[in-house]
Structure 1
């Protein structure tokens, strides 16, 4: 499900209002950490639903307002990047493995995991989905190692 620009703006306005009220409660001392925990929980929920654009916006707003620590924001952004990576975007050396499921190259790790978890083998077999997920996980590990070196 995709949102129109107007719907996304409306949702962002609602989220910003919620974040402002959470931050206000935190400053007053009521429910210490309440705003921080709800913002992070909401971000994780959006990620689990595959609503990455909304999650990114909420991460940016939460990090700038102090509801989410910068290290947590980086970790959440890395998680979104890993889940939104398409099989066709992995390094060429990983695409040369035997039995590479080329027909799945336009699917993201998130969508492939959803297909696998729901046992939806209409597009690809269980083995092809397992191979695709393993390759995407390997690519994510390579990316995180590269980021650590920088």
Structure 2
């Protein structure tokens, strides 16, 4: 089953700048983000981990950036962003949207009946967001009780 999904994504990426690489639990789809900055390079990896028995998968974005002074950053989780650039003379324009890679993988998986699960990082963020919201609500109620005329 997972071989079929890999083959479907591979066929969808033919002729594009996306590169596929098998991993122990699924595959990585990698692309160089065009023209992030003059001396900055960025590589976006869509890490897809497959659970073939359940026909489910998780997708995690890994964005590696190398800065002008040699500094490096790595961001993991769910990344949604767009970049645009053009050459100095205006003749060449490039753009990149991280959502394009998400759509490509999801479309191939959906055609084969696979379902996407949230990655663990998204679940943790959701829990912390809920806790923060409840704390803020509790604080507002406490302030209303204390300062109500």
Q: TM-score range by the shorter chain?
A: under 0.3
Query: Greater share of strand residues, 1 or 2?
Result: 2
Which has the higher Rg, Structure 1 or Structure 2? Answer: 2
What is the TM-score when the length of structure 1 is the normalising length? 0.24
Query: Greater share of helix residues, 1 or 2?
Result: 1
